[in-house]
Amino acid sequence: MASIKTHQLNFLGAAQEVTGSCHLVETGGKRYLLDCGILQGEEGEDQKFDFDPAAIDAVILSHAHLDHSGRLPRLVRGGFRGSIHCTEGTARLLPILLKDALSLYLRDLDYENLRRERAGHELLRPEYDDLDVERTLDLCEPVNYGVTQAVGPGLKLLFHDAGHILGSAIVELHMGQGDTARTLVFSGDLGNPDTSLMPEPTQLRHADVVVMEGTYGDRNHRSFDDTIVEFEQVLAQAAADGGNILIPAFAIGRTQELLFQLGLMYHQGKLNGWRVYLDSPMGGAVTEVYDQMCHDWHARDRALMSEYRSRTLSEFLPCLTITASVEESIALNRVKSGAIIIAGSGMCTGGRIRHHFKHRLWQKNTHVVFVGFQAQGTLGRILVNGVKKIKLFGQEIMVRAKIHTLGGFSAHAGQQQLLNWAAAFTSNPRFYLVHGEPEALQTLAKALWSQHQIEAVVATRGSGVHF
């Protein structure tokens, strides 16, 4: 007898693209969203919903990154009043991210309206505001990893550690009963086991349907040990040049990973003569949350911190200064040498790093170190590609600094790590691949079949499946 199919899954975002994570699950007469992320680089119409927000009963959030959470305030503005289920780590990071995103959005909106006013065009109204952000945060219901939580009629939820950033989760949903009982697993973003701080992603065994990310489905990362050796070589070269090091880094995950690795180098005597500056108010706030929740770190790294009697990343890296104010940031321009300046944004699309570029990119003894993926069209990608001249703040700036890229700091699982995670399932589930560019997902699908005889479907936006 054919199995009864009473549950439906629709792919509404991050289908053959790496942003806008959003999937609709319908079961027991209710509608649930897995993630509600922004499409980064898109505006206006592209951020609107393909459904009525008021008709959504609950949101299940894999983690705090904006491409998974950033449209939540718009969802609330549209009438959503249900619960938002997330981990404790996500609940603590979400206020920092959503408030910062709102500030940047309103700043850009003011700039656009100034341009429109001068041109005699109609002004734009904000699509959401601080009240929507506060209402969003009030709807969050945090739960610990491994704790079963009832979400709705016939729907139970468990979060497992995804090892991506603090609070990141693999979502396990149990729905229906008897003949209609099904298990859906959503990977969220799986972490890179070779990096520091976060534990390895939890491996699950049973599911009927698996929705898996494939951001790096077409390649593996460089060895982390090789990456650290290369980082040490950059430090030596910059010291010999009598210069400074600029590191564009994302405030969540990458910044804390860098502080930890620099802490290890400090205790190994490899940072003599260097001062480290975290020039990012958001990065500082996130680092505090990481310190408060160090119980969620990898046990190996907690032990290392204890060995040096350090309770926080700041204690672990004594030569660290966190520059909160604009005045403190400006004062860094007077530092002639020996400074490692970590500042946002990670792809140099905004933030304080652009101001440091203005003052130092033209200096031959400046070293710029990229520790993350640089998307096409971003200033970071342009610099990595070897441009000789850029325009910043209305000025033309020569690029004389030495540009370095370190390939092992990614917080995403590489291809082989994705394959290993998928192969751990013993129940022969149906696989759907999301959160990756088309070529990466197609390559991953072929590798899943050739190595493990797992047949995976590359999800397309707007498509749906019954199970």
Domains of the chain: 8-219+413-466 (3.60.15.10), 224-405 (3.40.50.10890)
Burial 416-429 (b: 16+ CB within 10 A, else e): ebbbebbeebeeeb
| Confidence check: pLDDT of 414 > 90 | yes
Whether residue 183 contacts residue 173, with contact meaning beta carbons closer than 8 Å, is answered with yes
Confidence grade of residue 253 (pLDDT, cut at 50, 70, 90) = very high
Dihedral sign, Cα of residue 84, residue 347, residue 276, residue 393: negative
Report the percent of the chain where pLDDT is more than 70. Answer: 98
Whether residue 40 contacts residue 66, with contact meaning beta carbons closer than 8 Å, is answered with yes
Confidence grade of residue 3 (pLDDT, cut at 50, 70, 90) = low
pLDDT (mean) for 342-362: 93
Give the contacts of 103 (CB within 8 A, at least 6 positions apart).
none
Confidence grade of residue 47 (pLDDT, cut at 50, 70, 90) = confident
| Confidence check: pLDDT of 46 > 70 | no
Q: Tokens for 352? A: 């304080």
Pairing of strands 22-27, 30-34: antiparallel
State residue 41's pLDDT score.
59
Report the percent of the chain where pLDDT is more than 90. Answer: 90
Give CA 458 to chain center in angstroms.
Answer: 22
Give the contacts of 286 (CB within 8 A, at least 6 positions apart).
93, 96, 251, 252, 255, 256
| Confidence check: pLDDT of 232 > 60 | yes
State residue 434's pLDDT score.
98
Q: Is the bond preceding 223 in cis, omega lying within 30 degrees of 0?
A: no
What is the C-alpha separation between 319 and 114, in angstroms, rounded? Answer: 43
What is the C-alpha separation between 143 and 158, in angstroms, rounded? Answer: 9
State residue 374's pLDDT score.
81
In this predicted structure, which of 21-25, 91-95, 272-276, 345-349 has the lowest mean pLDDT?
345-349
What CA–CA distances, in Å, run from 443 to 47, 256, 274, 397, 456?
29, 31, 43, 40, 11
State residue 43's pLDDT score.
53
State residue 274's pLDDT score.
98
Q: What angle do CA 436, 248, 351 make, to 5 degrees?
A: 100
Pairing of strands 209-213, 430-434: parallel
Confidence grade of residue 314 (pLDDT, cut at 50, 70, 90) = very high
How high is the mean pLDDT of the chain? 94
pLDDT (mean) for 245-253: 94
State residue 89's pLDDT score.
98
What is the C-alpha separation between 128 and 47, in angstroms, rounded? Answer: 12
Give the contacts of 100 (CB within 8 A, at least 6 positions apart).
282
| Confidence check: pLDDT of 1 > 60 | no
Pairing of strands 275-278, 339-343: parallel
pLDDT (mean) for 174-193: 96
Give the contacts of 246 (CB within 8 A, at least 6 positions apart).
341, 343, 353, 356, 357, 360, 366, 367, 368, 369, 401
What is the C-alpha separation between 254 and 346, in angstroms, rounded? Answer: 9
pLDDT (mean) for 143-164: 97
Model pLDDT for residues 376-395, shown as the tens digit of each residue:
788 999 999 999 999 998 89
pLDDT, greater one: 201 or 46 = 201
State residue 438's pLDDT score.
95
State residue 160's pLDDT score.
98
State residue 401's pLDDT score.
98
State residue 130's pLDDT score.
97
Model pLDDT for residues 269-304, shown as the tens digit of each residue:
999 999 999 999 999 999 999 999 999 999 999 999
Confidence grade of residue 19 (pLDDT, cut at 50, 70, 90) = confident
| Confidence check: pLDDT of 335 > 60 | yes
